[in-house]
Structure 1
Amino acid sequence: MKIESVVTIKKELQHLSHAELMALCLRLARFKKENKALLTYLLFKAHDEDDYVASVKELLDSDFENMNTNSYFYMKKTIRKILRQIKTYARYSNSKTTEIELLLYFCERLNGLKPNIHRNQTLKNLYARQKLAIAKKVAVLHEDLQYDYTVQLEELRD
């Protein structure tokens, strides 16, 4: 089956009734967990971005609390999983500030982990890459936001 382009799909959706569009959205939500999560964000969380960021931070806190810190191997696995979740949540929001806030929070939590991540080269490199990614994302924001986020970024220790 050939997958159609977004433009073609948009034109086809314009011809559907309200009830047919609702049925398509519900069917999409049933197919994949990500579709359901995106619809949840768009319907319930998109109007209050601060509340969305706070709820994602709570999820991240629980993930960090449940992390197995007995070995760096398990830590690396869980940290990568948390980072994938952050990328997904940021993609739902489609806001650079939300992504930066979540990544800054992620880096803060990494610094507070016991055992220290700076003793493991892989985790140290992952941390450095995230700081670099934050710096690149901050560079395209408004000057006032740039200053605020740069100050937060500099507070993170190397």
Structure 2
Amino acid sequence: METASVKELKTALNDCTNSELIELVLRLSKFKKENKELLTYLLYKASDEDAYISNIKIEVDTLFNNINTSSYYFIRKSVRKILKVVKTYIRYSKKKETEVELLLYFCMHLKKLKPSINRNTTLKNLYERQILFIKKVVATLHEDLQYDYTVELEKLKN
């Protein structure tokens, strides 16, 4: 089956009635968990971004507390999983401030992790890549926000 382009889908959706659109969205939400999560964000959480960020931070706290620290193998695996979850939530929001806030929070937890990530090259590189990514995104923000987030980044370096 050939997939239609976004433009074709948009045109077809414009021709649908309100009830048909509701039916299509509900049917779409039955197929993937991510579709349901995105709909939940758009319908309930998008209006209060601060509460959304707080909820994600609580989830990140829980995930970091549940890491098996018996070996670096398990730590790497868990950290990658946590980063994947954070990136998914960032994709839902599409706001640069949310992205920076959540990645800073992730990096802060990663830096505090015991045993230290500095003893493992993979974890250290992952941390440094995220810091570079944060710097890139911060450069696109308003000057006041740039200053605030740069201060936070400096705290992470020390």
Give the TM-score taking structure 1 as reference length.
Answer: 0.98
Write out aligned runs for 1:1-158 (5 A): 1-157=1-157
Letter in 2 for 1:117: I
Q: Percentage identity across aligned positions?
A: 58
Taking the aligned partners of 1:11 and 1:129, their CA distance within structure 2 comes to 39
Q: Mark the runs of 5 or more structure 1 residues left unpaired by the alignment.
A: none
Distance 1:78 1:15 in 2: 45
What is the aligned residue count?
A: 158
> Which amino acid letter does the alignment assign opposite residue 78 of structure 2?
T
Encode CA deviations 1:32-81: one digit per residue, 9 max, x unaligned: 00000000000000001101000111111111111101100000001001
Cα distance between partner residues in 2 of 1:127 and 1:9: 39
- The alpha carbon displacement at 1:109 in A equals 0.3
| Structure 2 Cα separation of the partners of residues 134 and 111 of structure 1 | 15
* Secondary structure at the counterpart of residue 115 of structure 2: coil
What CA deviation, in whole Å up to 9, does each residue of 1:78-111 have, x standing for no partner? 1001111111100000001101000000010011
User: 1:148 deviation in Å?
Assistant: 0.3
CA distance in 2 between counterparts of 1:78 and 1:127 reads 14
Distance 1:79 1:156 in 2: 17
Mapped partners of 1:29, 1:65: distance in 2: 31
The whole-number CA distance in structure 2 between the counterparts of 1:138 and 1:54 is 20
- 1-structure distance, mates of 2:51, 2:36: 19
Distance 1:37 1:61 in 2: 20
What letter corresponds to residue 119 of structure 2 in structure 1?
R
Residue 157 of structure 1, CA deviation: 2.7
Runs (5+) with no aligned partner, structure 2? none
TM superposition outliers: structure 1 runs of 4+ over 2 Å: none
- Alpha-carbon RMSD across the aligned residues, in angstroms, is 0.8
